[in-house]
Amino acid sequence: MPLNIRTYHELTEADRSGLAAQIDAQRRRVAARVATVGRVVAVMSGKGGVGKSFVTAGLARALARGGVATGVLDADLNGPTIPALLELARARCTVRPDGVEPAVNPDGVRCFSMALLLADGRPLGFRGPETESHVWRETLETAALREFLADVAWGPLDRLLVDLPPGVQRFQELVELLPAPPAVLTVTIPTAESRDAVRRAMHAAAARGAGLVGVIENMVGGPFAGDAGAALAAEFGVPLLARIPWHPAAETWRELALRV
């Protein structure tokens, strides 16, 4: 005689554990926090070393100087560099009833980063069993990203730039955490190798419903030859927002800020 076993969704009794409800509550906290943000803009690239963080910081400072309330969430948890690029002095992060205060740089850019929290020179380490850590580590990093979104008292912002690490995984996690897909700025260097890697990232972003704001070509005029920026912009039908030279002038950032 087979057992009559109701399935998961057929069990509707009250459940004190409420794991699904706890996840829902987490999502609501993220949604409530970003409700005061005009636009979340993910800065991404399929490739490392193209200068995403450099571009993010330069753009953020130019936006803030132009009167645009700007925040930067450093989503590169393992290699965070945004506080240094924003020239942020290290200080204690103030915990208030409504969340943790972001650091604010001299231009008024609000910022939160794992770099503000880690001991000098130490890598991001988590408590937990060392064996099979691949099973839980990415999940924990996603939780950290969720808390950076939900628990930092960002306040009203016109732009929240999210500086993503290389690849597309953190972007996928960001999309799952936010109530709506972010806008996406992609950064490339001129080379064909970069073009190919960034193309994959742009396809991944478009497939998740993200609006592609445009392409920024960085490190122009240096040792890297090619036209990756123009090629990607044409292929995806988006503007080439800037071609940033090795030593960009303040005007370069100002012009970029006007276009984002």
Partner 1 sequence: MKFLCVECDQQLTFEERRLPGDGTLAAAFRCPRCGRVIALLTNPMETQLVASLGVKIGGTTVPPQPLETVRGMVTTGRDEAFDDAARPDPAPAGPHWSAAAQERLARVPGFVRGMVKRIYLDYAKERGIAEITPAVMDTARSELGLEGM
What is the SS3 string spanning 149-161?
HHCECCCCEEEEE
Our CB check for partner 1 shows the closer of 121 and 237 to be: 121
Q: Whole-angstrom Cα distance, residue 201 to residue 52?
A: 13
Pairing relation of β-strands 183-188 and 157-163? Answer: unpaired
Nearer to partner 1, 98 or 193 (CB): 98
Alpha-carbon 42 to chain mean position? 5
Q: Of 147 and 158, which CB lies nearer to partner 1 in the complex structure?
A: 147
Minimum distance from CB of 243 to partner 1 (Å)? Answer: 38
Give min distance, CB of 129 to partner 1, in A: 4
Of the candidates 171, 174, 220, the residue with the CA atom closest to the CA atom of residue 198: 171
Query: Least Å distance between CB 15 and partner 1?
Result: 6
103-104 vs 110-112, strand pairing mode = antiparallel
Give me the least distance between CB of 50 and partner 1, in Å please. 27
Q: 8 or 249, CB closer to partner 1?
A: 8
Interface ranges with partner 1 (CB under 8 A): 3-6, 8, 11, 13-19, 22-23, 26, 29, 92-97, 99-100, 116-120, 122-129, 131-132, 135-137, 139-140, 143-144, 146-148, 151-152
Q: How far is the CB of 64 from partner 1 (least distance, A)?
A: 24
Q: Which of 236, 229, 230, 238 is nearest to 259 (CA)?
A: 238
Q: Using N-to-C axis directions, what is the helix angle for 228-236 and 192-207, rounded to 10°? A: 30
Give burial (CB, 10 Å; 0-12/13-18/19+) of 31: middle
- Of 14 and 249, the one with the shorter C-beta distance to partner 1 is 14
